[in-house]
Amino acid sequence: MNFEPSRSFAINKLNNFIEKNLIEYSKLRNFDYGPDQRTNISCLSPYVSHGIISEKEIISKCLKKYSFIKNEKFIQEILWRIYWKGWLELRPIVWSDYLEDLKKIKENFKNNQNYLDAIKGKTNIECFDCWVNELKNHNYLHNHARMWFASIWIFTLGLPWQLGAGFFMKYLFDGDSASNTLGWRWVAGVQTKGKNYVASDWNIKKFTNNRFDNIKLNENPVPVVDDRNYSILNNNFLNANLSDSKNLLIFENNLFFEQSNFNDQSFKNIYFVFNGNETRQIKLDEKVLNFKKSLIKDQIQNLKNKSLNCKMINVQDLKNMKENLLALYPSVGENLDYINSNNLKNISFLYRKIDQYSWKYCNKGFFNFKNYIPKMIQELI
Ligand SMILES: Cc1cc2nc3c(=O)[nH]c(=O)nc-3n(C[C@H](O)[C@H](O)[C@H](O)COP(=O)(O)OP(=O)(O)OC[C@H]3O[C@@H](n4cnc5c(N)ncnc54)[C@H](O)[C@@H]3O)c2cc1C
């Protein structure tokens, strides 16, 4: 498995997937055949999570190839990301509570042998140890493996979900505050209260194509309990006035500027903001930071070829920039935290149309959100 940090690589991957594998996606997507056999899924998440390819671009290309009905499952999966994002945007305290919990739990578990064995891949649960190594070596796991992994972490190894989510964030190329935190909350049974995801021997055996067998797991656990209730914020996600500034900030979630809804504006300067470990609450693996940096460099080169004025800055530089700045909205996560905790009031936000339109449907569950998909496609794609 190979994730080259460039837009051209990502586009090739997408085109290949649509041509050869999309048609069988809904039938085969749950199978994890191992890191050398990933054609049954798209492996696009490291690019979509960085805005190198957008959900809109993917869906529109798929619909040129097949009808909506034939594409339905894949489109739903693509839109899960927007749903999770919107869900967290409406309840940002879930993210800040998660970070607070993680800080305390990390301190309490720093010498816990179960935890230390788990992150070294030395639990003697063969599949789990294998996924730990795969995560560290390839910076990616199949969706089903992420579910099994999280379930074993929480219910068989008895470790807090927050620590597992932090471990994923450290190593995943697609590490994303919403999909990751809410994915772990969902497995634990705190996202849909009382409904946990339980990994089982037969399911792992079947969907890994018999690569693992005779796995001793706790298959009757009770869900994790979290009594906190989060009320929904009333936020319209309205764009700042475009005449406020001619300088644009781009964070790591929206890197392909030409696909933003603002690419027709004549910005004097475009700054790509790199956020390193000094300023992150969850420290990332060096390979993940390098992946982000290389994607930024690829985009800078791309814009320079079109004679646009752009450069990479460090997130800490923002404190010294006193002029008004516009920014493609970084979403709830580490970059927005930096802006808020440093009270950088001179930065105002521009939102993607697809987010403005769809986040209002994220107040309830995904099954409700799903009903609006045809409408979203009609209006936006
Ligand atoms: C515990 C847990 C943690 C996760 N952490 C992350 C994370 O940090 N970052 C991340 O991008 N995804 C995360 N996911 C979601 C999902 O596992 C990955 O997006 C998916 O495995 C990416 O592989 P793919 O591109 O081949 O997906 P495909 O099956 O080819 O799907 C196509 C695209 O749809 C989107 N998608 C598919 N499933 C999901 C989903 N469940 N949630 C959100 N988007 C989805 C992704 O953009 C993906 O690239 C997590 C899931 C779980 C259960």
Say whether both 202 and 104 belong to one domain.
yes
* Ligand 1 centroid distance, CA of 54 (Å): 14
Average pLDDT, the chain: 97
Res 234 pLDDT > 90 = no
Mean pLDDT of the 149-173 span: 98
For ligand 1, atom 37, the nearest C-alpha belongs to 77
Of 207, 227, 251, which residue is a domain's last? 207
In this predicted model, what pLDDT tens digit does every residue of 126-158 receive, in sequence order? Answer: 999 999 999 999 999 999 999 999 999 999 999
Question: Number of structural domains, the chain?
Answer: 3
Say whether both 146 and 170 belong to one domain.
yes
Res 381 pLDDT > 90 = no
Say whether both 259 and 335 belong to one domain.
yes
Task: Look at residue 94 and tell me if it is in a domain.
Answer: no
Say whether both 332 and 262 belong to one domain.
yes
Task: Look at residue 262 and tell me if it is in a domain.
Answer: yes
pLDDT for the residue numbered 15: 98
* Ligand 1 centroid distance, CA of 80 (Å): 8
* Closest ligand 1 atom, residue 142 Cα: 21
Say whether both 203 and 257 belong to one domain.
no
Task: Look at residue 229 and tell me if it is in a domain.
Answer: no
pLDDT for the residue numbered 236: 86
* Ligand 1 centroid distance, CA of 111 (Å): 31
Res 123 pLDDT > 90 = yes
Lateral strand order in the sheet of 347-350? 310-314, 269-274, 247-250, 325-328, 347-350
Say whether both 114 and 195 belong to one domain.
yes
For ligand 1, atom 12, the nearest C-alpha belongs to 179
**Residue carrying the six token digits 């960085």:** 50
For ligand 1, atom 41, the nearest C-alpha belongs to 80
Task: Look at residue 366 and tell me if it is in a domain.
Answer: yes
Task: Look at residue 32 and tell me if it is in a domain.
Answer: yes
Mean pLDDT of the 222-237 span: 94
Structural domain that includes position 282: 242-350
Say whether both 119 and 163 belong to one domain.
yes
Task: Look at residue 218 and tell me if it is in a domain.
Answer: no
pLDDT for the residue numbered 23: 97
The pocket around ligand 1, CB under 6 angstroms, is made up of: 29, 41-45, 48-49, 77-78, 80-81, 84, 142-143, 146-147, 150, 168, 172, 174-176, 179-180, 183-184, 187
Indicate which CATH number applies to the domain containing 49: 1.25.40.80
Say whether both 251 and 345 belong to one domain.
yes
* Ligand 1 centroid distance, CA of 77 (Å): 8
* Closest ligand 1 atom, residue 83 Cα: 43
Say whether both 145 and 186 belong to one domain.
yes
Given a contact cutoff of 8 angstroms between Cβ atoms, the answer to whether 273 and 335 are in contact is yes
Long-range pairs, 163-166, Cβ under 8 A, ≥24 = 163/102, 163/105, 163/106, 163/109, 163/115, 165/98, 165/102, 166/102, 166/106, 166/282
* Whether the predicted model's global pTM rises above the 0.85 cut: yes
In this predicted model, what pLDDT tens digit does every residue of 336-361 receive, in sequence order? Answer: 999 999 999 999 999 999 999 999 99
* Closest ligand 1 atom, residue 172 Cα: 8
Round to whole Å and give the CA distance between 58 and 74.
10
pLDDT for the residue numbered 269: 96
pLDDT for the residue numbered 209: 97
Of 156, 185, 207, which residue is a domain's last? 207
For ligand 1, atom 4, the nearest C-alpha belongs to 180
Res 89 pLDDT > 90 = yes
Q: Choose the weakest-confidence range: 176-180, 208-212, 230-234, 290-294.
A: 230-234
Indicate which CATH number applies to the domain containing 182: 1.10.579.10
Indicate which CATH number applies to the domain containing 255: 3.40.50.620
pLDDT for the residue numbered 1: 84
Mean pLDDT of the 322-348 span: 98
pLDDT for the residue numbered 127: 98
Say whether both 82 and 12 belong to one domain.
yes
Say whether both 161 and 187 belong to one domain.
yes
Task: Look at residue 237 and tell me if it is in a domain.
Answer: no
* Closest ligand 1 atom, residue 48 Cα: 47
Res 17 pLDDT > 90 = yes
Say whether both 85 and 109 belong to one domain.
no
* Ligand 1 centroid distance, CA of 342 (Å): 31
In degrees rounded to 5, what are phi and psi of residue 250? -125, 125
Res 118 pLDDT > 90 = yes
Of 207, 230, 261, which residue is a domain's last? 207
> Which residue from 31, 143, 168 has its CB within 8 A of the most atoms of ligand 1, so it is best to mutate?
143
For ligand 1, atom 29, the nearest C-alpha belongs to 41
Task: Look at residue 269 and tell me if it is in a domain.
Answer: yes
Mean pLDDT of the 263-274 span: 95
